[in-house]
Amino acid sequence: MERISAWKKYDETALKELEAISKRYRDFLDHGKTERECVKQAVALAEKNGYRSLQDVISHGKKLIAGDKVYSVCMDKAVMLFHLGKKPLESGVNIVGAHIDSPRIDIKQNPFYEDTDLAYADTHYYGGIKKYQWVARALALHGVVAKKDGSLIEVVIGEDESDPVLCISDLLIHLAQEQMAKKAGEAVTGEGLDILLGGRPLEGEEKDAVKAMMLGILKERYGIEEEDMLSAELEAVPAGKSRDLGLDRSMILGYGHDDRVCAYAELEAMLRLPMLPEYTCCCLLADKEEIGSVGATGMRAHYFENAMAELVNLTSEHYSELTLRRALKNSRMLSCDVSAGYDPLYASAFEKKNAALMGCGVCYNKFTGSRGKSGSNDANAEFIGRLRKIMEDNAITWQTAELGKVDVGGGGTIAYICALYGMEVIDSGVPVLSMHAPQEIISKADLYEAVKAYAAFMKDAN
């Protein structure tokens, strides 16, 4: 089946809207390099558009009615937006869910050391990365440090033009004969990803004087002691802003498209909903997908189910566990995660007619997983049939795909976890080139079509 580029159907009005969305997305991406920063932006956007904190509603003992808009935050790393619809919750919720964590380099809890008059931070990489891609590039430090008195210090170093940046050094090519003979996955080791912090000794110090200088700067500028690193979450990410890519400015190059491009498309789509949607709609932004959706803020945790239970309680006279179970089972969901865009330079990894083409619109993956669909959700044909009608009725440019050739590899999303409730789920996202690299690539057209697709799904799915 032929797939036509979405660009061919745009008039001047559509192109202006596409560029406006792309500009807003780039701002979101540049200011959301960690899950905490993404949550902060999502909450600010929600409150600006009339959403109230679910916790505040609960504490004031108020009920919720159709048309109300609330949000719920989990540990500042995951967030859910709910727009209540006409139909009762047990009729199901139309959910668009993405993740807001991305591959990165995490600073360890006891990180600082000095070696031959250079100060370093020990690290542990997060998510699936090609380690060699992270050396010899400018890095910024983002995160929080929790003090014993309960205060929280926010840290961002390396984004302002006046800031210094950090770096992981690489071996010079002149001495790299042995390194170059290794497999790509072994050329740089995990323990070799230590971040260079400084090289100037503190005057008057005899032992670890460079480390002492670095610690002195942290204390003076941020009030951070070395011991405070025990309760810190600091992430090293590529420094700098996203950029338009291509002479035609048709693409965006930046860090964290996986999966913040889908997260942002969801947020834009929520703001397009009518004042009183037919079904309750939910924008779910989860953490920890890149490491298996584990932990208290990953999709395996119960914060979504707990929030749904609160909604059942706040929209009815008496709480019913059966109503909650029916609401979850009868829900419909797009698991909004990126797909592998077809790259002609690496054509051997793809089966072209079942690959996601850049610029051909939002992508639906009936299944993900690896090899024999292991770890996959594998959506029902009936659900896909209804989605086809929604896409056609709303003039959405869309395509289907799988993640590379059958025996080449694969990957997973949050779809199979949400499907455990018995709801209908399919993966839907934006094609990405160089996925999991420090700089990834998307097409503005695919972002634009994703926004429209997610809004149409929440409005029309039943």
Domains identified in the chain and CATH numbers: 6-102+255-460 (3.40.630.10), 104-238 (2.30.250.10)
**What's residue 206's pLDDT?**
82
At 446, which amino acid appears? D
CA dihedral of residues 101, 104, 109, 114 (deg, nearest 10):
-160
Give residue-wise pLDDT tens across range 86-97. 999 999 999 999
Residue 338 pLDDT more than 90? yes
Angle at 371 between CA 367 and CA 372, to 5 degrees: 70
pLDDT in tens, 213-265: 999 999 999 999 999 999 999 999 999 999 999 999 999 999 999 999 999 99
Query: What's the rounded Cα separation, in Å, for the pair 408 and 340?
Result: 13
Choice among 15-19, 140-144, 406-410, 434-438 with the minimum mean pLDDT: 406-410
Report residue 77 as tokens.
């790393």
What is the H or E stretch that residue 281 is in?
strand 280-286
- pLDDT, one tens digit per residue, over 262-321 is 999 999 999 999 999 999 999 999 999 999 999 999 999 999 999 999 999 999 989 999
Predicted local distance difference test score (pLDDT) of residue 370 = 81
Q: Label each residue of 170-183 as H, E or C.
A: CCCHHHCHHHHCCC
User: What angle, rounded to 10 degrees, do the helices at 303-314 and 321-329 form?
Assistant: 120
As a whole number, mean pLDDT of residues 418-423 equals: 95
pLDDT digits (tens, 9 = 90+) for 375-414: 888 999 999 999 999 999 999 999 999 988 888 878 889 9
12-61 residue pLDDT tens: 999 999 999 999 999 999 999 999 999 999 999 999 999 999 999 999 99
Cα separation, 169 vs 150, in Å, equals 35
Which residues, in sequence order, are bridge partners of residue 83? 69, 281
Record the pTM.
0.96
